[in-house]
Structure 1
Amino acid sequence: MIEKLYKYSTTDEKAVEKIIMDENINYIHMVFNKNEGLPEHYSNSNVYMTVLRGVLSIGLNDQEIHEYKKGDILQIPFNTKMKVNNLHDDVLELIVVKAPAPSNYKQN
């Protein structure tokens, strides 16, 4: 078999699943219910967030919270302060890709 198969959960329960964590990328699946999210932190690589369902409420650096819905893809630069939350009733599901992998990130 040439390909390698990965799976992620299909739950509505809170989840932060590190699916692929190699030298090329970090591929993370996240599920958050209302009022759940991530602690405030700084991006450690270029971050790409794909909203699979629900509404993402995200504050970046010092700007006000912006909201994104299913089908939206965000690109967030390295070293950006992030506050990721679900402020809505519907379940929020995201795919987060960090590229290059933080262990290989070289700042210009």
Structure 2
Amino acid sequence: MLNVLQGIPYQAEGMGKRKLVDEKHLLVMQIALRAGQAVPQHNANSNVHLLVLSGEVTVTIDNDGHMLKQGDLLAVAFKSAMSIKNIGAQEATFLVIKTPNPCEMQK
């Protein structure tokens, strides 16, 4: 068992992250952003769901912005261009749930 609200992987520079689940059909990562930090634009390498645990982030998907706060869940389609930024004054952490695991998308 792991409490995802303990040991949150914040970093002084850039995003913090840790892998929570790494199985054939599921990858779950926890991302931690201090105020102003961001996940650079990239293409989703699987079907992705983002679940905000604390703070507020803006998620841009194919140039469409979404403001998410604690408890919000957002789906991101495979290959969509996406970026995430902590727009609040407080730290933010969220889960990135990928199904299937991106390693399976290559097969």
- Give the partner amino acid of 2:66: H
Matched with 1:70 is 70
Question: What runs of 5+ residues in structure 2 fail to find an aligned partner?
Answer: none
Give the direction of change, closer, same or farther, for the CA distance of 1:20–1:11 in structure 2 (3 Å limit).
closer
The worse-fitting range, judged by mean Cα deviation, of 42-51 and 18-27 is 18-27
Percent identity over the alignment is 22
Matched with 1:98 is 98
2-structure distance, mates of 1:67, 1:10: 25
- Give the partner amino acid of 2:7: T
SS of 1:40's partner is strand
The one-character-per-residue Cα deviations of 1:22-70 (angstroms, maximum 9, x if unpaired) are 212111011101111211100011101100111111111122x221111
Which 4+ runs in 1 deviate beyond 6 A?
none
Q: Please say which structure displays the higher CA radius of gyration.
A: 1
Taking structure 1 as the reference length, what is the TM-score of the superposition? Answer: 0.83
Q: How many residues align?
A: 101
- Give the partner amino acid of 1:18: K
Q: CA deviation at 1:81?
A: 0.3
Matched with 2:39 is 38
- Give the partner amino acid of 1:100: P
Q: CA RMSD in A?
A: 1.8
Question: What runs of 5+ residues in structure 1 fail to find an aligned partner?
Answer: none
SS of 1:18's partner is strand
Q: CA deviation at 1:90?
A: 1.2
2-structure distance, mates of 1:85, 1:54: 11
Task: Specify which structure has the higher proportion of strand.
Answer: 2
1-structure distance, mates of 2:74, 2:100: 16
